[in-house]
Structure 1
Amino acid sequence: MNRSILLCAIVATINIVFAGLLPAQESPTGKGDESSFIQLTLVPPLSTNGFHSYRYSNHISINLLAGLSQNEYGFALGGLANLVRGQSNGFMLAGLVNHVRNGGRGAMLSGGMNMAYRPYSGWLFAGLANVAQDVDGFQFAGLLNKAKDVNGVQLAGLINVAENSDCPIGLINIIKNGEMGVAITYDEMGSALLSFRSGGKYTYGIVGMGYNHKTHGRSYAAQVGYGVHIPCSSWLRVNNELKVSCFGYSNDPLIIHDDHLKNTVIHVGYSLLPAFRLHSHVELFGGPSINYVDAGWKNKETLPSHSLWESSGSGRFRQIHLGFQVGGQYAF
């Protein structure tokens, strides 16, 4: 309690000092708001700009917990949050949230979320999510990116959502003017998979489930991956896909026996797939692949007899080999 009182007293003293050293002046916007070179804040209204910090445009803001301002024209640091009623032109760093009502340009970095409700030009990095109107630049989020129109790249650990985005990189991409479809594929490892593919003009994500008829153990298979389209004509494009598949769990469901993963097959492959569009909704594709496989001894027989490289040890067998993939897709 004494520390809290002392901290409040220090902030109040700083407020009085800076109020005298940094007199308010007319904002260059001519809208009647104030400007200051630097703002120091614990939480509003415990700020060097006082109860009316929401009227101020700052060049530097140091917010121990959270700060509130009209505009930011340089650097803003928030222990928890930076809250800007107008624009942010510069760099914003927050432990939890950057919130900009009227967009801007520069870069925003947050451990939680970045939110910009008007067009933003620059870089948005968030531990969880980016939510923006129009973005000209780059969005990176650990979980979710959401925007209207994106001129640049969206990179998310799970989901990208937009009306227009040519280069979304995520496992699931809900792009209004993009492409979503369901594909059936088969490869040299004996995996038949049903996958959901979603993305934009150039990039897409892959999430699939299916069956492997060669494995010893549980035959269901799971797959995730990313792809890149290379458009060639209205009826031909080349798909480049990097995927990871997993199958061959032990038949013994009891984890206490500690063998539920020892026979698992991990299959990583890159495929070069010419794709032929037969109809506006139907596409057939197929082509060669190069693959790395890490399998338990019981599933060694499921691997191709030919290989470019192989190794064994610790009850596992590893191999690099050439293979294939064929399939078809129905686009929604």
Structure 2
Amino acid sequence: MGGVFNAVGGSVRGVQLAGVGNRVFGEMKGLQVAGVFNGVGENVSGVQIAGVGNHVSGEVKGLQIAGVFNKADTVRGVQIAGVVNLANEAPGTTQLASILNNSESTVGSQLAGIANKAKKVSGVQVAGIVNIADSSDYPIGLLNFIKNGEQSLSVAVNEDSYLGLQFRSGGRV
């Protein structure tokens, strides 16, 4: 436990608390809490909570919560951020953010106020504005751009004889 900052050259097992920041060059197993920033050079098994951001160079198995951002190579669990979540791979993971969720590969589910982006979504994508994915069966948003999803164009005439053109791009449902 450090008043301002903790730096560990190896690994940590247990609880790490700091007013400003924690930095672990090895693995972190347990609970890591900082007023501003947590950084781990290898893997995390447990919970990370930071006022601003969490960054893990390896894999997170557990929960990341941050006021601004979470970033990890691989996440297996949940990411919750005030602004943005970033993961290269997040199979089975749920990402929740006010602005943006991004997974460069597979993700479980994503919920964002503005946008979600992933290669493959195995669950639900919900965004206030846009969802982008190569494949997502359940995108819910104002705009859904799903590369391998349904893409159709239709023309309709209503009872007032107005002609309408509709383009649909999204999941199967």
> Could you state the TM-score of these two structures normalised by the residue count of structure 1?
0.47
**Structure 1, gaps ≥5 residues long:** 1-8, 25-32, 203-332
**Pick aligned residue for 2:13 from 33, 36, 42:** 36
Identify which of 181, 206, 228 aligns with 2:152.
181
Q: Give 1:56's match in structure 2, choosing from 24, 27, 35.
A: 27
Determine whether 1:73 maps to 2:45. yes
Which secondary structure does the structure 1 equivalent of 2:155 belong to?
Answer: strand
Aligned pair in 2 of structure 1 residues 43, 11: CA closer, same or farther (>3 Å)?
closer
Q: Is structure 2 residue 126 aligned with structure 1 residue 149?
A: no
SS of 1:117's equivalent?
A: strand
Contact 2:154 2:166 in 1 (8 A): yes
Aligned-residue CA RMSD in angstroms?
A: 2.4
Unaligned runs of 5+ residues in structure 2 are none
Which of 60, 63, 66 in structure 2 is aligned with 1:88? Answer: 60
Shift of residue 143, structure 1, vs aligned partner: 1.1
Is 2:170 aligned against 1:193? no
Q: Which structure shows the higher strand fraction?
A: 2
Give the CA deviation at 1:174.
Answer: 1.4
Between the two proteins, what is the percent identity of the paired residues?
A: 33
Q: What is the total number of aligned residue pairs between the two structures?
A: 171
- Counterpart residue number, 1:114: 85
Higher normalized contact order (CA 8 Å, seq sep 6+, divided by chain length): 2
- Per-residue deviation, residues 41-80 of structure 1 (Å, max 9, x unmatched): 4455xx3x5xxx2323131110211110132211111111
Provide the secondary structure at the position in 1 that maps to 2:4.
Answer: helix
Which residue is 1:98 aligned to?
70
**One-letter code aligned to 1:114:** N
CA contact (8 A) 2:90 2:108 kept: no
Shift in Å, 1:133: 2.9
State the distance in 1 between where 2:115 and 2:148 align.
18
Larger Rg: 1
Larger proportion of helix: 1
